[in-house]
């Protein structure tokens, strides 16, 4: 018997990465049913077939309330209940800062991460109240705690999810409903590759390649993997955490515990070695994105004090030189 025996779960962003690993684990741990929610239909349908009759896929854009309601209705129609909702769907959002952010990009990122989670709760709570039990889990991020871990809208949405769990804990605890957040650190998935325009397939490949240069970014010297988050979600969904609500579980390998000794040259070399394993067109796209970021940084230098500008210019030139060496070792 699994620890989720007889329970019904709905997982958003279920076709790949964290959602995929969690869906598989929940099935293995005895769920009566898992509703797989995503917009990647081919992957989602194939995955549901792999998992067997207890898994159902439904196309759902979590920024659309009607889509969310249909997914929840499907859980009730097919499995008669809904015990666990894991709001995991996400995108990296625009990398722009406050000054450059496009309003449309900001709104879309907030809609997927934050509004989607709120709407999943809105339409699930009546069912859970009738049952006298329920569990909400949100995928937050270390970016919700500290600047520099993600883009503006992404980071704000993750910080909001952390607080949403606290609000929900107080509002819903009396009905036997819990809410918690998981804050991953550096997890090797395809989400950020998709954010710069890579195809889903290439982004997943890039996520796997990132394991090498992500390994030394935190106290535990390996990259995080989707299964690390899936195991945390299993704990929060199970009766083992029945007295835990309103909390955020950091699953970051010690990333937020403090800075560690790190060789930036080695990190950059590992990055470009991984980059060279992509197809030429994907390499070109990645390099263009890096160059765009460098150009934006250069444009801001004119507003800085001369002594600060000089130090940054030297550092940026050194990075460019190392990049050229890594990409063109024979020249």
> Looking at the annotation, which residues are catalytic?
154
Tell me which residue of 13, 18, 7 sits closest to 231, measured CA to CA: 18
Q: Cite the DSSP H helix spans in 80-199.
A: 103-110, 116-131, 152-172, 191-195
d(CA 96, CA 76): 41
**69 token code pair:** 């309601």
Q: Can you tell me the distance from the alpha carbon of 274 to that of 312, in angstroms, rounded to the nearest whole number?
A: 26
Phi and psi, residue 61, nearest 5°: -90, 110
User: Cα–Cα distance between 286 and 271 in angstroms, integer?
Assistant: 11
**CA 230 to CA 296: how far, in whole Å?**
37
**Strand spans (E) along 223-297:** 248-251
Nearest alpha carbon to residue 183 among 222, 220, 133, 149: 149
Under a CB-based contact definition with an 8 Å cutoff, are residues 21 and 47 in contact?
Answer: no
């Amino acid at each position: 018997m699994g620890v989720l025996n007889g329970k019904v779960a709905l997982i958003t962003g279920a076709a790949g990465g964290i959602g995929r690993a969690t869906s598989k684990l929940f099935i293995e741990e005895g769920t009566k049913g898992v509703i797989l929610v995503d917009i990647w239909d081919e992957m989602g349908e194939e995955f549901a077939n792999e998992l067997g009759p207890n898994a159902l896929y439904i196309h759902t854009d979590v920024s659309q309330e009607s889509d969310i309601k249909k997914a929840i209705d499907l859980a009730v129609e097919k499995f008669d209940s809904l015990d666990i909702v894991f709001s995991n769907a996400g995108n990296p959002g625009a990398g722009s800062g406050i000054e450059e952010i496009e309003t449309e990009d900001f709104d879309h990122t907030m809609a997927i991460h934050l509004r989607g989670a709120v709407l999943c709760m809105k339409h699930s709570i009546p069912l859970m109240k009738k049952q006298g039990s329920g569990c909400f889990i949100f995928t937050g991020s270390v970016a919700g705690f500290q600047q520099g871990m993600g883009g503006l809208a992404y980071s704000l949405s993750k910080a909001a999810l952390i607080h949403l769990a606290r609000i929900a804990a107080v509002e819903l605890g009396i009905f036997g409903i819990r809410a918690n957040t998981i804050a991953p650190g550096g997890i090797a998935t395809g989400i950020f590759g998709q954010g710069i325009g890579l195809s889903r397939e290439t982004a997943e490949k890039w996520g796997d390649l990132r394991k090498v240069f992500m390994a030394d970014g935190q106290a535990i010297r390996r990259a995080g993997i989707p299964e690390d988050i899936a195991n945390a979600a299993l704990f929060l969904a199970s009766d083992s955490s029945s007295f835990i609500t309103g909390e955020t579980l950091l699953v970051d390998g010690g990333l937020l515990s403090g800075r560690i000794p790190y060789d930036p040259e080695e990190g950059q070399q590992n990055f470009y070695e991984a980059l060279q394993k992509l197809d030429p067109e994907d390499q070109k796209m990645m390099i263009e994105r890096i160059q765009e970021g460098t150009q934006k940084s250069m444009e801001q230098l004119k507003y800085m004090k001369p002594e600060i500008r000089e130090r940054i210019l030297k550092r940026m030139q050194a990075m460019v030189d190392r990049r050229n060496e890594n990409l063109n070792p024979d020249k």
